[in-house]
Amino acid sequence: MAARVRRPARGAVAAAHGVTAAAAARVGAAAVRGMTATARVRVVRELTDEAVTLIQNVRRHFEREMADTRRILLKKPARRTAVANGVSRHTESRVSASGAAERTRPAGTPERRKSRRRIPPEEYARVRAAIYQQYQDKMLPTLDSTLHVLTTCQEGAAGSGAGGCEQSGENLAMDAGGSRAGARAEDGAGPMTGVRASAGASAGVGIGEAGAVGGGARGGGQGAYLWSRTTLFRALHDIGFTFSKGLNHYDVTREKPSVIRQREDFIDTLRQYRASGKVIYYTDETWANKNMSVYRSWNDGNLRSRLDQPSGKGGRIIIAHVGSRETGLLQGAGLSFVGKKSTGDYHKEMNGPTWLKWLEDDVFPKISDGVLVIDRAPYHLTLTDDARPATTKMKKAEFAEWLVRHDAVPPSWLSQDWRQLKTKADMKAEADKHRPAPRYQVQDLAQRFNVKILISPVAHPELNPIEMVWGIVKWP
């Protein structure tokens, strides 16, 4: 008697061949009854539900042909194929056409449809206003908090007829469960938790495929917000919002009115210098640590694929240089010295006298009749003595000397002993009226060499190309 072959369990077959238990059960029950264990496993691996159905259709068709005494249509393969597979002749001809197999979806691939449910475009303004309102209330918007603002504010506005929300930011920041909204991940998937739609949303109001509300009153102003958390997620993407870090400090600074004026003046002046044929030079300082190395390299995680280097940053060197598009980095115009301070800010290693001495000895003689672009580091913009404004730190006698030196004493004061009679506040008010225009020491020094100084705007390193040079040199 032959040894009995043990039939593998359904779960074992499914796990071994990457199919679901349900698929294994269907194929085992419909197409592989009576097979050996090896043949059954092979069928589960190779056949899909669609292939099993076709096999069954063809088998039944051939059985009917065998039982039928009429002549078989051997000379009509297209019609015979359609009848055998249980499809129409039009479907058979379309599938048999050249290239049809390449256009079809692979068997067994789940069909993924992109949801068409959307908030109506006329509601986008309300969603955007809810986001901006949370920022105004010093909140970080999330899906849950935004949904809470939309539903709660509209419920409160329905009774009063107001279109806005008068709730405090603290109330809006709390979801229905009493926890801070935004503690969960913003992936846009899964059921809505913590926040529920308004009463009107659960009162049998239907939502159509396009997201429109059936039966809702739209004619008399804004109705209640009735859409789900997932639909809100799609709406935020549709109107350009992303769940990301957002603007940083430099992005905000760039759009300040004062910085915008600096940028426009800088670009206009730069174009004028270039149109007149002047060479534009750029200068900046940077730093490098003794043990500095690149962050990334080709390695396999083995100790043999790393460089042996001491721990810690090591000593620090301060570097400054000058260059232009026409000449590159000027030969003999570099400055470098070893830093001695332990502070993390390399700007504190450089000071005004050191920087001006370097310009006077090594830079200005080489760029005569050119233009030098500098940034707004404090030691770059050291004011001259005549351009220093009066400050509150001055004593009363110093205020008096400043007024005399700048010819700012009012004529009505000259008829009396104003140095004794006038208060420090009176002198400060007159000094503020005669605040001198800024004049920097580097401008006076550059004038001796016929060099123009152009100051770049705040938070615009891309307008000083040598900043990018340092980045390439230090972090290749």
Whole-number pLDDT of residue 53: 76
Q: Is it the case that residue 58 has pLDDT exceeding 90?
A: no
Does 302 fall in a domain?
Answer: no
Provide the token pair at 215. Answer: 């039966």
pLDDT of the residue at 84: 78
Read off the tokens for 377: 């580091």
In the chain, the amino acid numbered 248 is N
Whole-model pTM over 0.85: no
Q: How many domains does the chain have?
A: 4
The sign of the torsion formed by the CA atoms of 34, 35, 41, 43 equals: negative
Q: How far apart are CA 100 and CA 93, in angstroms?
A: 10
Q: Within 10 A of 29 (CB to CB), how many other CB atoms are there?
A: 9
The type of residue at 467 is E
What integer is the mean pLDDT of 375-385?
A: 94
Range(s) of the domain holding residue 30: 10-95
pLDDT in tens, 178-191: 333 333 334 443 33
Distance between CA 372 and CA 382 in Å, rounded? 16
Number of CB atoms found within 10 A of residue 299's CB: 11
pLDDT-derived band at 46 (thresholds 50, 70, 90) equals: low
Residue the block writes with tokens 């920022």? 135
Instruction: Report DSSP state, residue 464.
Output: S
Instruction: State the pLDDT confidence band at 473, using cuts at 50, 70 and 90.
Output: confident
Find the mean pLDDT for residues 416-434.
92
Identify whether residues 162 and 54 lie together within a single domain.
no
The verdict on 341 and 279 lying in the same domain is yes
Residues 414 and 374 in one domain: no
Tokens of 192: 């809505």
CATH code of the domain containing 359: 3.30.420.10
- Total residue count of the chain as it appears in this document: 476
Q: Are residues 462 and 370 in the same domain?
A: yes
**Separation CA 32–CA 46 (nearest Å):** 12
pLDDT value of position 67:
76
Give domain status of residue 104, yes or no.
no
C-alpha distance from residue 391 to each of 110, 380, 402, 432, 438 (Å): 74, 21, 10, 9, 14
Model pLDDT, residue 300:
84
**Nearest Cα residue to 381 out of 355, 348, 343:** 355
Torsion of CA 258, 259, 264, 268, to 10 degrees: 100
Q: Is the pLDDT of residue 41 over 60?
A: no
Tell me if 103 sits within 8 A of 196, measured CB to CB. no
Q: Do 194 and 216 belong to one domain?
A: yes
Task: Tell me how far apart the alpha carbons of residues 283 and 362 are, in angstroms, rounded to a whole number.
Answer: 12
Determine the distance from the C-alpha atom of residue 56 to the mean position of all C-alpha atoms in its chain, rounded to a whole number.
55
pLDDT, one tens digit per residue, over 193-223 is 333 333 333 333 333 333 333 333 333 346 7
pLDDT at 450 over 80: yes
- Same domain? For 356 and 470 the reply is yes
Per-residue pLDDT tens over the stretch 71-102: 666 667 777 778 777 778 787 777 777 555 55
Note the pLDDT tens digit of each residue in 238-294: 999 998 888 888 888 999 999 999 999 999 999 999 999 999 999 999 988 888 877
